[in-house]
Structures are given as C-alpha cells and as structure tokens.
Amino acid sequence: MKNAFTMIELVFVIVVLGILAAIAIPRLAATRTDAQITKGRADIASIRSAIVTERQGRLIQGQSGWILTLSIDTTTLFTGVDANQTLLMYGIAAGIGDGHWQSTSGTAYTYTVQGADVPFTYTPVDGKFTCSTTTGTAAQNEMCGLLVN
C-alpha cells in the first residue's frame, strides 16, 4: 500500500490555495493604504496641535503672530525654526514614497498615499495647515479628503 497523494488531490490543493491567494492579496493592499491614511491623519493632528500649542506659548510671551515656517530642516520636518520655535519635539523624518512627508518649502509639504503626492500648505497669517480637495488631480483630491475628514 502506498502512502502518497494522488494527482487529483494535489491539483485540488493548488486550486484552493490559488483561490485563497486571489482573495487575500487585494485585501492586504487595501490594508496597507488604510494604514498610510491613518498614519497621515495622526501626523496631521499632531502638526496642527503643535502649531496651536506653539501659538499659545507665543501669546504668553506677548507675541500675537503665528510661527512663520514649520521647519527649515528638509530631513526632519515640523521641528520649527530654532530653539525658540519648537513644534514637534522629534519631528517627522522626510522620505520618498507612500506614507512619507516631503518639504517643498517652509510652508509647503506633500504626503504621499498610493503614489499621489497630496499637497499641504501652512498659512502663517492664520496658522492653518490644510490641503485642498479641489485644486489637485482626482487622486490627490480623494486622498486629501480621506486625510483631513
């Protein structure tokens, strides 16, 4: 008596594994995008909170204006301009690709999700850190809406 699998049994197992893979792989990709959006939302909340906290410190010192730029360092973002203007204590490392921030100036940044570079702008007149859901490409506008809503 042989103790082996028949060809039909092996084919059946391979077909079942193929079906499971076809279902699982797209779901894993969606989970990755969800994680990048969640990370972006957390970063945005931290940045906005830091802007308000820094402004409150300035008001206590008798300065009524908002911080002029969020960062002068292009490798570690959102750290402020100097020791007197500290935003995020440790900053956010700049990077390329999905789930990373980049600086395009002291007031303009991009966050990348699914290959779409979502532009964010800091306005020193009113202290707002926003992206526009109407001025970019369809993918940028969609990701902006997911990040800020």
Kindly list the domain boundaries of the chain, sorted by start residue: 7-148
Choose the most confident range, by mean pLDDT, from 19-23, 111-115, 132-136: 111-115
pLDDT for 84 beyond 70: no
Q: Model confidence at 82, in pLDDT bands (50, 70, 90)?
A: low
pLDDT > 70 in the chain, percent: 94
CA dist 148 and 119 (Å) reads 12
Is 93 a residue whose pLDDT tops 70? yes
Angle at 82 between CA 79 and CA 84, to 5 degrees: 105
pLDDT of 133 over the 90 cut: no
Q: Which is more confident, 49 or 80?
A: 49
- The whole-angstrom separation of Cα 38 and Cα 114 is 13
Average pLDDT value over all residues in the chain:
87
Q: What is the pTM of this model?
A: 0.79
**57 φ/ψ angles, rounded to the nearest 5 degrees:** -65, -40
